Amino acid sequence: MEQINLGIISPDKDAYSETFIGAHWLYLKGNKKFLFNGYLPLESNDGDLKISFSFFNRAGRKINIFLGQNTLDFHERKLLSYFNHHHLNVILAEYGLTGTAIMNVCKVGQIPLVVHFHGFDAYMTDNVLHNYKIKYQRMFGIAYKIIAVSRHMQDKLIELGCPAEKIVLNPYGPNEIFFKIAPSRNANIFIAVGRFVPKKAPLITIQAFALVLSYKPSVRLYMVGLGEELNKSKKLVSKLGIERSVQFLGMANRDAIAKLFSQSFAFIQHSVTAENGDSEGTPVAILEAMAAGLPVVSTRHAGIPDIVKENQTGFLVDEYDISDMAAKMIYLLENPEIAEQMGEAGRALIKESFTMKKHISKLDTIIETASRYGKK
């Protein structure tokens, strides 16, 4: 088999600390280079790529795009030179926007392109899909394969113009550490892990918890993460007078989250479609919580029903239905034996169908096959 020299491109330098991109960087086969700093990257982890360009280079890029899609500008030529120097024979673009930025380089260089969608890049209507729809359609034609992480995302990409035969459904998987956790069945602690952003709807989660608290004053809520809605969330907790029952724990690494799961009773996440269309892919935190044996209360949203089987591994409610979410949380508190059964059923489901090993293995196969289709 031909040696795989894989370029992984992500907008952010620290993206490989994220669960899914980190797993790709750590576990995918081949000689790997990590490129970052923008959708069209400026730097590489080995230091061989470090691009700076002037106003004239930017202007040249716009002119080249206007004159012809197969004409590379200064930036793109530098990237192609880097790809050729390191004999990269597959490019994995993390996020759809990265795929559109790098597609011309891959086309001219005859380097197979695999584009991995993750969430916002398939859904946000105001500043993504509105501006990128035509670019997406061209990218779908250039890319070797497009990766979707949920059936809902798969359907969305087809709606956007991606040929169904180009899409590979490949959900994420949690780190193996979470399968070793034993939840605290009598703790009466609910936990929510995720960024404080509109699609995670932390304010809805807090309102539902407040209803549960009025029923059972001894319950507690741990909220892990940072984001634009954190201050609003803290103000709401203060307004409701429930500061002693809600703990904002900030950012936490994988080991810290695993420890918090071991102290918790159930996982909650009220995901919604944000006003700008932003939606979930397959939430990693839910996968991790289920692997840890926690029953889940969440919403019928995007890829969540793919993994949370209603009335089997947890409960799902309609988006913005605060009272039903609270009712399901109360039901778990009143029926700890069912909560335990759901938690164990969730762990078994993740172990059977949604492991990191399966995710990486399928992506490895795609990349290996793609490597045979580039220039010789």
Residue 98 and residue 9 in contact, taking contact as beta carbons nearer than 8 Å: yes
Residue 97: which of 129, 56, 144, 58 has the closest Cα?
A: 129
Rounded distance between C-alpha atoms, residue 321 and residue 332, angstroms: 17
Strand 314-317 versus strand 90-94 pairing type = unpaired
Placement of tokens 């497009």 in the chain: 146
Delimit the domains of the chain by residue range: 5-172+356-373, 176-353
Q: DSSP assignment of 191-212, as one string?
A: EEES--SGGG-HHHHHHHHHHH
Q: Which residues face 296 on adjacent strands? A: 267, 314
Cβ neighbours for 225, distance < 8 A, ≥ 6 positions apart: 192, 193, 194, 195, 196, 200, 250, 251
pLDDT digits (tens, 9 = 90+) for 161-184: 999 999 999 999 998 999 999 999
Q: Which residues face 167 on adjacent strands? A: 146
**pLDDT at residue 55, as a whole number:** 47
> In the CATH hierarchy, which top-level class contains the domain 5-172+356-373?
alpha beta
For residue 295, which phi and psi values (nearest 5 degrees)? Answer: -65, 150
In the chain, where does DSSP find H-type helix? 19-27, 55-67, 74-85, 96-109, 120-123, 130-142, 151-159, 202-215, 230-240, 254-262, 284-291, 304-307, 322-334, 336-353, 356-370
Residue 159 and residue 136 in contact, taking contact as beta carbons nearer than 8 Å: no
Dihedral of CA 202/204/207/208: which sign?
negative
CATH number for region 176-353:
3.40.50.2000
Taking the chain, what is the end-to-end CA distance rounded to the nearest angstrom? 14
**Splitting the chain (376 residues) into consecutive groups of 10 residues, what average pLDDT does each group show?**
88 68 92 95 94 61 53 93 97 96 97 94 73 90 96 93 96 92 91 95 98 96 96 98 97 94 97 87 91 98 93 97 98 96 97 94 96 76
Residue 113: which of 376, 375, 370 has the closest Cα?
A: 370
**pLDDT at residue 56, as a whole number:** 45
CA angle 23, 29, 31 (to 5 degrees): 105
Token pair recorded at residue 48: 């061989």
pLDDT digits (tens, 9 = 90+) for 281-326: 888 899 999 999 999 999 999 889 999 999 999 999 999 999 999 9
| DSSP type of residue 3 | P
Type of residue at 259: K
Placement of tokens 């909650």 in the chain: 268
Fold match flag (5-172+356-373 vs 176-353): yes
Residue 227 and residue 260 in contact, taking contact as beta carbons nearer than 8 Å: no
Rounded distance between C-alpha atoms, residue 95 and residue 15, angstroms: 11
